[in-house]
Amino acid sequence: MFTCTRRATLVLALSLATSLTLPAAAMAGDITVFAAASMKNALDEVITNWTTETGNTAVVSYAGSSALAKQIQQGAPADVFISAAVNWMDTLQSENLIKPDTRIDLLGNSIVLIAHGTDAAPVDIASGFDLAGLLGANKLAMAMVDSVPAGVYGKAALTSLGVWETVAPNVAQADNVRAALALVATGEAPMGIVYATDAVAEPDVSVVGTFPVETHPAVIYPAAVTAETTKPEAEDFLTYLSSAAAVAAFERQGFTVLNK
């Protein structure tokens, strides 16, 4: 039988465990932002500046755009959604889960081939290039190729170049693009496909080639306020994403700002 002291200790432990597993938005922050994982470095800086300038705060959930969109579909309490692909924003708009009059095309990006280390040799990315030969028996790190935008773009590029079938058996799929980046940074995979902005954020990889823009759909990051939010700070934050300070932060990380 539990003593009073043991009961108190158990209650305290359970309380701590529960608080650690609660969503961050339930504990602090004026708004909750769901954002593509590839935005983390730049968006963290933007939010720090926004908080300094306005006194408002934001809690950010970073993940693959597909996972975030599905969470919003299931009722997750997001105030702002920033996707790395137009189709996921289109899906939410068709289900009346965003406010369409707030929607903007915020950023552009490019898809690159990276290699482990800082001095990897460049690769000529062209039709039929021997990516399978470069990999040998090793893995090519990519985000989920059928759902996460970076993976979808990467697969489209490899398919367009006629090399997807030869490398598909060697693809190591990760939950999001930052997880794919980490596989290359740690050397678990010698090569990977990520956004150019991801490569900027990781000192232990080299960009060895950029996929031609005509080989994949345009990489566009739309942003919008969700339909459920009643917080005026959400639209204020969306407006701030086009401010001079935010533009500078995005451009430092290699994004193309579409909504200046």
Domains of the chain are 4-107+220-257 (3.40.190.10), 111-210 (3.40.190.10)
pLDDT tens track for 171-200: 999 999 999 999 999 999 999 999 999 999
Strands, DSSP E only, in 154-235? 171-174, 191-195, 205-210, 219-225
Q: What's the CA gap between 121 and 172, in Å, rounded?
A: 22
Burial of 122 (0-12, 13-18, 19+ CB in 10 A): exposed
- Structure token digits, residue 179: 């997880």
* Whether pTM exceeds 0.85: no
- Structure token digits, residue 149: 């935008």
Report the 10 Å Cβ neighbour count for 218: 13
Q: What's the CA gap between 98 and 113, in Å, rounded?
A: 34
Q: What's the CA gap between 82 and 86, in Å, rounded?
A: 10
Which residues touch 149 (CB under 8 Å, ≥6 apart)?
36, 64, 65, 66, 83, 84, 85, 88, 143, 177, 219
* Per-residue pLDDT band at 254 (split at 50, 70, 90): very high
| pLDDT > 90? residue 1 | no
Are 82 and 36 a contacting pair, CB within 8 Å?
A: yes
In this prediction, residues 50-57 reach a mean pLDDT of 94
| pLDDT > 50? residue 238 | yes
pLDDT tens track for 32-49: 999 999 999 999 999 999
Are 104 and 225 a contacting pair, CB within 8 Å?
A: no
Are 215 and 156 a contacting pair, CB within 8 Å?
A: yes
Report the 10 Å Cβ neighbour count for 73: 12
Among 28-37, 130-139, 213-222, the least confident range: 28-37
**What is the Rg, in whole angstroms, of the alpha carbon atoms belonging to the chain?**
20
